[in-house]
Structure 1
């Protein structure tokens, strides 16, 4: 696996084996098409494992009061979604209707303060 920085729809995404639609070396199914901006570094990564592998610091989750921030990138159409719009989207991009991986819900607490 190789570290990559890739411009996806003009947005820099860092990670491991990053592909043009935000898939990575850890998650590469046809529905793994989002990247999430981490508030600790204001940088998009395809997944928490990419952040762990590439960043030089601990990840911080988004607090609830910042769920209005644009922090989710659709790798299919390039739309940046607010956290709340992403959480409300039912695993479908509200702009292009591309399917997101519903299994990502299991990882929400790694990105967003869910309590």
Structure 2
């Protein structure tokens, strides 16, 4: 099991969850509202009693993305620059996460 706590529904040791569990679903995101990692926004909704707050742009220098394969913590810029692969262990990340990016970290779209 992961040394870094990842909360959610049926979370495995590689951060896959009940909602997203393909071979590529090995990333978790830290939410600013509770400073906790979750595999997906649906897990956050299921196990918390508060609204989710994405990671703020003014904290992009702090790690807030977790590789479920090797437990490397990345900053948002490191995650985005890695082109959906862990820069530490080369595990592939799900490029489909970009469809929900504004739920995980501030984007240009989330600031409008």
Alignment of 1:70 with 2:63, yes or no, is yes
Q: Structure 2, unaligned stretches of length 5 or more?
A: none
Residue in 2 that maps onto 1:13: 6
Q: How many residues align?
A: 108
4+ residue runs of structure 1 moved beyond 3 angstroms?
Answer: none
Matched, 1:28 2:21: yes
Q: TM-score of the superposition, structure 1-length normalised?
A: 0.90
| Structure 1 position 56, deviation (Å) | 1.1
1:83 is displaced (CA, Å) by 1.3
How far residue 71 of structure 1 moved from its aligned partner, in angstroms, is: 0.7
Once superposed, what is the RMSD of the aligned Cα atoms?
0.9
1:114 is the counterpart of 2:81: no
Distance of 2:49 and 2:81 partners within structure 1:
31
Question: Separation in 1 of the partners of 2:87 and 2:97?
Answer: 17
Residue 84 of structure 1: which of 73, 77, 83 is its match? 77
Gaps of 5+ in 1: 1-6
- CA distance in 1: counterparts of 2:56 and 2:69, whole angstroms: 26
- Larger relative contact order (Cα-Cα within 8 Å, sequence gap ≥ 6): 2
1:55 paired with 2:48, answer yes
In the TM superposition, residue 58 of structure 1 has moved relative to its aligned partner by 0.3
Q: Is the 8 A contact 2:31 2:53 kept in 1?
A: yes
Q: TM-score, normalised by structure 2?
A: 0.93
Equivalences for 1:89-100 in 2 at 5 Å?
A: 89-100=82-93
